[in-house]
């Protein structure tokens, strides 16, 4: 027999907080992001808004809206997206395969999971040790195991290079 709530809706087909909290969160490419730590619910509409993800002691947490969640399975929560914060520490190569440096930080477009700029700590003798390269998303060709640019590093506009 199906259990019903006061509203008359079947509650045995719903998801509870126990089904979400403590579960691993996996991005669209299969990478482990962290563990679901909190659930956010709009106090007026009582709608589910999203989850907070604990990424461990050293890394700061992350909030993911419900529109980025693909599936809540028995063993994990699967996202529809690749989380852009995970490109920190990745190597950056230019169009010709020359190593530019390592991603040190990211600017996002508002609160979206979309890159505006990446900041790269250079690995090349073309730059001094205290410079940082700002690369607009317009110059990013591909993000995978590494970040690949669609431009040669020596064609990057000079305004893109900052002294710290």
Instruction: Return d(Cα 151, Cα 138) in angstroms, integer.
Output: 10
Domain that holds residue 156: 85-163
Note whether 31 and 100 are same-domain residues: no
CATH (domain of 72): 2.30.30.240
| Burial (Cβ within 10 Å: 0-12, 13-18, ≥19) of residue 4 | exposed
Note whether 31 and 73 are same-domain residues: yes
pLDDT per residue as tens, the chain (164 positions): 555 555 656 677 788 888 899 999 999 888 888 899 999 999 999 999 999 998 776 556 788 899 999 999 989 999 998 887 778 889 999 999 999 889 988 888 776 778 889 988 887 665 555 678 889 999 999 888 899 999 988 887 765 555 54
Note whether 155 and 91 are same-domain residues: yes
Note whether 96 and 142 are same-domain residues: yes
Q: What is the pLDDT of residue 128?
A: 57
Final residue belonging to a domain, choices 34, 58, 82:
82
Instruction: Return d(Cα 41, Cα 51) in angstroms, integer.
Output: 9
Final residue belonging to a domain, choices 82, 98, 118:
82
In the numeric block, the tokens 């529109």 are attached to: 67
Number of domains in the chain: 2
Note whether 95 and 159 are same-domain residues: yes
Residues ≥6 apart with Cβ < 8 Å to 143: 82, 84, 87, 90
Final residue belonging to a domain, choices 82, 103, 120:
82
Instruction: Return d(Cα 115, Cα 157) in angstroms, integer.
Output: 19
Q: What is the pLDDT of residue 36?
A: 94
Note whether 75 and 46 are same-domain residues: yes
- List residues bridging with 24 in a β-sheet: 35, 76
In the numeric block, the tokens 């962290």 are attached to: 34
Note whether 98 and 135 are same-domain residues: yes
Note whether 74 and 23 are same-domain residues: yes
- The DSSP annotation for 47-109 comes to -EEEEEEE--SSS--EEEEGGGEEEE-SSEEEESS--GGGGTT-EEE-TTS-EEEEEEEEEES
Strands 140-143 and 147-149: antiparallel
Of 39, 13, 14, which is closest to residue 25 (Cα–Cα)? Answer: 39
Q: What is the pTM (predicted TM-score) of this model?
A: 0.65
pLDDT tens figures, 112-122: 778 889 988 88
Note whether 90 and 49 are same-domain residues: no
Q: What is the pLDDT of residue 163?
A: 52
Note whether 93 and 77 are same-domain residues: no
* 3-state secondary structure at position 155: helix
Note whether 73 and 23 are same-domain residues: yes
């Amino acid at each position: 027999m199906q259990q019903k709530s006061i509203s008359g809706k079947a509650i045995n087909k719903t998801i509870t907080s126990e089904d979400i909290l403590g579960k691993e969160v996996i991005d669209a490419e299969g990478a482990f992001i962290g563990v679901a730590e909190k659930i956010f619910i709009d106090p007026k509409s009582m709608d589910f808004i999203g989850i907070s993800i604990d990424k461990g002691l050293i890394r700061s947490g992350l909030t993911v809206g419900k529109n980025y969640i693909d599936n809540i399975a028995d063993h994990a929560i699967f996202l529809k997206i690749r989380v852009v914060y995970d490109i920190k520490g990745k190597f950056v190569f230019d169009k010709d395969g020359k190593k530019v440096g390592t991603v040190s930080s990211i600017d996002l477009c508002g609160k979206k999971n979309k890159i505006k700029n990446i900041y790269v700590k250079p690995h090349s003798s073309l730059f001094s040790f205290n410079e940082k390269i700002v690369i607009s998303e317009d110059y990013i060709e591909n993000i995978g195991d590494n970040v690949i640019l669609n431009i040669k590093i020596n064609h990057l506009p000079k305004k893109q290079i900052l002294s710290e």
